[in-house]
A = this chain, B = another copy of it.
Amino acid sequence: MRVKLTVAYDGTDFVGWQRQARGRSVQGDLEKNLRRLTGQEVSVQGAGRTDAGVHGCGQVASFEADLQLPVEKLAYALNNLLPVDVRVLAAEEAGADFHARFTPSRKEYRYFMVPGEAGGPFVGRYGWFCPPIADIKLMQEAAGLLVGEHNFRSFCGKSAVVTTYVRTLYEAELRPAEADEVPDPLYRLAAEGKVLMLRLVGNGFIYKMVRLLTGGLVKVGQGKLAVAEFARLLAEPAEQPPAPAAPAQGLYLWRLCYEANGAPTVDRM
């Protein structure tokens, strides 16, 4: 049976989504516990390969296996085996041709900044407690430019391995987050209007793209990078990003929407 999993995880203690020679990966934890549950070697493919420290709220993964239990009971059974920082939110049978990574999808990433706040010991892993931002309007103006098809070469990690830097963003917004738009650890701060959210929906994201875009936008908000210069980096791909990548802990792969399961019925994901 082909299975589609929806998975949430706290990225703090992982080397990332992808299995590596050393260290805990989300993929590795899922595969290990599916092996315990089914007695089979299972290869789990994720939609987005998040980096170390990056969180997942609605990551989607797929695998092929002979299940000895009804698929409706798989999430419960897996959660009993998995460590508390990985949770399977849903498990369902998928079409034979469904593949979390290769079936076209819309992906939503969210990046949470908490400008000018010190942060306590319980929240530092869940957002970027960045310096104060002088002008959020400028950041919003720059973020608005991101919608559409662009060559994102200027905002990609050097080790990105891609055949093209062109991606399409369907939505791009930057604004204070509502309390119900953030993960639990940031709820109080968002309720007090202190959390700034960059929300991006696109057909694909390149290695470090969201974090480098966030870094560039914060530089715009600090008055150290003109909106016109930001626009030029989108129009004329450069080798060097305009600012370092924002730290991993503020980034969340928020959710995915697969066109193969029916085209999105709403404009906004």
**Are B184 and A179 in contact (CB-based, < 8 A)?**
no
> Among the listed stretches A123-131, A202-210, A225-233, which one makes contact with chain B, having 4 or more residues with CB under 8 Å of it?
A123-131
Among the listed B79, B84, B85, B188, which residue makes an inter-chain contact with A184, where contact means beta carbons less than 8 Å apart? B188
**Residues of B with C-beta under 8 A to A10:** 121-122
Q: Is the pair A85, B121 in contact by a Cβ cutoff of 8 Å?
A: yes
- Does A120 sit within 8 A of B, measured CB to CB? yes
Q: Is A144 an interface residue (CB 8 A)?
A: no
Cβ A120 vs Cβ B8 within 8 A: yes
**Whose C-beta in chain B lies nearest to the C-beta of A187?**
B188
* Other-chain contact of A187, B9, B87, B126, B187 (Cβ < 8 Å): B187
A8 to B87, CA, bound (A): 28
Copies of this subunit = 2
Residues of B contacting A5 in the complex (Cβ-Cβ under 8 angstroms): none
Among residues 176 to 197 in chain A, which have CB atoms less than 8 Å away from a CB atom of chain B? 179, 183-189, 191
Asked if A86 lies at the interface with its beta carbon under 8 angstroms from chain B, I say yes
Q: Judge if A119 is at the interface, Cβ distance under 8 Å.
A: yes
Residue contact A125 to B84, C-beta cutoff 8 Å: yes
CB distance from A147 to the nearest CB of B (A): 29
A185 contacts B9, CB within 8 Å? no
**Cα distance A86–B125 when bound, in Å?**
12
**CB 8 Å contact bits of A156-185 with B (1 = contact, 0 = none):** 000000000000000000000001000111
B121 touches A126 (CB 8 A): no
CB-CB nearest in chain B for A183: B122
Q: Determine how close the nearest CB of chain B comes to the CB of A192; give it in whole angstroms.
A: 10
Instruction: Specify the chain B residue showing the minimal Cβ separation from A182.
Output: B188
With a cutoff of 8 Å between Cβ atoms, the chain B residues found around residue A126 in the complex are 122
Contact B188 A179 (CB under 8 A): yes
The 6 closest A-B pairs by CB, nearest first: A84-B124, A187-B188, A185-B185, A10-B121, A187-B187, A85-B121
Contact residues of A with B, CB < 8 Å? Answer: 8-10, 55, 79, 84-87, 118-126, 179, 183-189, 191
19 CB < 8 A contacts A-B: A8-B120, A8-B121, A10-B121, A55-B121, A84-B124, A84-B125, A85-B124, A86-B121, A87-B118, A87-B119, A120-B183, A120-B184, A122-B126, A122-B185, A123-B185, A184-B187, A184-B189, A187-B187, A187-B191
